[in-house]
Structure 1
Amino acid sequence: MTGDGWDTPVDSLMGREERMAKYGGAKYGGIEPSRKTPNVFIYSDPARGKSFGYNFDGWNEDNTVFLYTGEGRVGDQQMRDGNRAILEHHTKGRALRLFVADGLIPGTDQKNHRYVGKFEVDRERPYFLEEAPDQKEELRTVFVFRLHPLGEALHRSADRSCSGDIRLVTETVLVPLEAHISQTFENPGAKATTATRRESELCARYVSHLGRYFQRWKITPAGETRPLFTDLYDQEENELYEAKGTATRDAVRRSVGQLLDYQRHITPKPNLTLLLPHRPSDDLINFLHSVGISCVYEEPDAEFSRIDAAAREG
């Protein structure tokens, strides 16, 4: 038995009622501080998160960090209650005890849990933010805590995170275009939309029209897990394209933000161009040129026209 009264070995199975009797803490929550012992009990159930369309929980690639999604099922998660208990466990003198769901307690319909080990939250980067659907299938912000094992811990392939840990530095690499130009494509956890199909098909027509080799950039910003993929990149001209399936003001304004965001991470800094299925209004062309972005649009005869930003300067 340890100095804090903990005598449950790593890899042991333990139901919530047994844990309550020995160490305290409430029965039903995902994060349960105990008044009986200096512990905060954390329960991970990746299958439950996966049913909502996400699964961040689990070990990172080198088994040094266990990622754990905070509590709060509807709307943006808040740094209070259980989430705050994890964040402040150092100052409260509490240990984090992690359990993962593992089948049912024999003869009952209650979930069993396997003890993974004792953890502490990372002191420099305790958590990062992710987007995930809630119970109403609406996107919201969730906390993903970064937990380090203290001593022995259980490492199983079944407990691997599907998302992985955040990147500590931004990673920017060129990747082939083929995965982008297709009839449909999907973002993680979301179905392909009519807009994405139109953008993909527009890119394919433009590449075929020019008959040149294009690539795209895969950008994973520091502090995030999910990469960003650009639409088209012409390395010979150092030109980065963002495609949109419509030429509306809303689509053009979104594109400007995307292009400027991508450009920050690419060296040398590329020229920026918006690819559209129709000629936008003169005001939108002036808007694009005011921020140094050119415009290429498709003509009714399947040809493409270009209006360079430099042509309108001055």
Structure 2
Amino acid sequence: MIDVGWDTPVGALLGREERMAKYGGAKYGGIEPSGTTPNVFIYSDPDRGEAFGYNFDGWNEDRTVFLYTGEGRVGDQQMRDGNRAILEHQTKGRALRVFVAEGFIPGTSQKNHRYIGEFKIDEERPFFLEEAPDEANELRTVFVFRLHLLGEAFHRETDQSSTGDIKVITEAVLIPLEAHVTQTFKNPGTEATTAVRRESELCARYISYLDRDFQRWKITPAGETRPLFTDLYDQEGNELYEAKGTATRDAIRRSVGQLLDYQRHITPKPSLALLLPHRPSDDLINFLHSVGVSCVYEELGSGFTRIASNSGQPS
């Protein structure tokens, strides 16, 4: 490896072709290890991230960590090629140099890039795993690397991560029911949008029927960035509801998993109930009772009926 030295100042614009000529590395990838200089070049482009419905890239709140999503556009990302180059850059004696997209090179359609500084990977928690859609809009697992600055940095307000860094401990707080919640990725599709609307309308009818106040929990598990939002929580009765717009077996099985996931983060532990647009089959009611979940379903013209988890009979 031949080190020709690094003479590009922090904050300078440097196109990919010029960078290739001076320091090596290929032209188009998001992560480009150089074969001629001891560098790994990392390119962050928030606009491109938004096109896939996520954007983990950017600084955390106090600008001590820069988050960067690994490479791999289809399926679960793998720890190889560019991702491995980031993970092993210190043992390989390479510098991590981060660039952010900014405008276009004059007279061309090629994006320009601004050099924001040299980084090293966090030794204790080099990355965490997140879910994000791939090119086919299928959810998969991605690496989000945690990078620490070495020396000077160039900061832009637009380079703030929209998710922020992972939580050290789990946080669970009660929030108003009307608080805006976005749990789906961008471009989720008609089916997902319709399901969310049906669940929201079902919750509204149930709240009106009981004429009482409900809240919801916002839960951010340790080691993750995205909070989880429950559907309905009855603080007076300490009961947690999950609403589904359909009473299919698949929907009910998924709902049970969600309720059990939420429940373990809430103190004191709430009782659980599933809110449905109509009565499910007897076998599914038995399934709910076997895992301690009550069933509340809507009956046309007569409101809602509850089958408590410990009774097996409507109440």
Category of TM-score, reference length = shorter chain: over 0.9
Answer yes or no: is the 8 Å Cα contact 1:215–1:234 preserved in 2: yes
- Partner residue, 2:213: 213
Q: Which amino acid aligns with 2:209?
A: H
Change (3 A) 1:10 1:310: same
The answer to whether the 8 A contact 1:177-1:216 is kept is yes
2:4–2:23: 8 Å Cα contact kept in structure 1? no
Which residue pairs with 2:64 in the alignment?
Answer: 64
Aligned mate of 1:187, from 184, 191, 199: 184
User: Equivalences for 1:227-242 in 2 at 5 Å?
Assistant: 227-242=227-242
Aligned CA distance change for structure 1 residues 130 and 186 (closer, same or farther; 3 Å): closer
What is the distance in 1 between the residues matched to 2:136 and 2:289?
Answer: 41
Match runs of 1:1-314 below 5 Å: 5-179=5-179, 187-189=184-186, 190=188, 193-312=193-312
Aligned residues: 308
Task: Indicate conservation of the 8 Å contact 2:53/2:132, yes or no.
Answer: yes
Query: Aligned AA for 1:310?
Result: N
What SS does the corresponding residue of 2:167 show, helix, strand or coil? coil
CA drift at 1:312:
4.1
- 1:32-82: CA deviations, max 9, x gaps? 111222111111111112122222211111111111111112222111000
Identity of aligned residues (%): 79
Is the contact made by 1:180 and 1:200 (CA closer than 8 Å) also made in structure 2? no
Give deviations 1:120-147, integer Å, cap 9, x for gaps. Answer: 1111111122222222333222211111
| TM-score, scaled to structure 1 | 0.93
> 1:187 is matched by which residue type in structure 2?
T
TM-score, length of structure 2 as denominator length? 0.92
Query: What is the letter of the counterpart of residue 41 of structure 2?
Result: F
Could you tell me how far apart the structure 2 residues matched to 1:302 and 1:154 are? Answer: 63
Give the letter aligned to residue 93 of structure 2. Answer: G
Amino acid at match of 1:91: T
Residues 4, 267 of structure 1: CA spacing in aligned structure 2 closer, same or farther, 3 A cutoff? farther
**C-alpha displacement of 1:160:** 1.2
CA contact 1:239–1:271 (8 Å) conserved in 2:
yes
List alignment gaps of at least 5 residues for structure 2. Answer: none
CA RMSD of aligned residues (A): 1.9
Question: What CA deviation, in whole Å up to 9, does each residue of 1:179-228 have, x standing for no partner?
Answer: 379xxx76341366222111111111111111111101011111111111
SS in structure 2 opposite 1:311? coil
Amino acid at match of 2:146: R
Tell me the distance in 2 between the aligned counterparts of 1:298 and 1:205.
Answer: 9
For 2:116 and 2:8, the matched residues in 1 are separated by 10
Deviates more, 1:65-74 or 1:80-89: 65-74
Letter in 2 for 1:218: K
User: What is the alpha-carbon distance in structure 2 between the residues aligned to residue 208 and residue 129 of structure 1?
Assistant: 40
Question: 1:25, 1:91 → 2: CA distance?
Answer: 19
Alpha-carbon separation, structure 1, partners of 2:25 and 2:97: 11
State the secondary structure of the residue aligned to 1:99. strand
Amino acid of the structure 2 residue aligned with 1:309 = S
Please give the secondary structure, in 1, of the residue aligned with 2:260: helix
**Secondary structure class of the residue paired with 2:152:** strand
Contact 1:221 1:227 survives alignment (8 Å): yes
- Residue aligned with 1:103, SS: strand
Q: Is residue 121–residue 147 contact of structure 1 (8 Å, CA) maintained in 2?
A: yes
How far 1:176 sits from its partner (Å)?
0.5
Q: Which moved more, 1:116-125 or 1:295-304?
A: 295-304
Taking the aligned partners of 2:180 and 2:7, their CA distance within structure 1 comes to 53
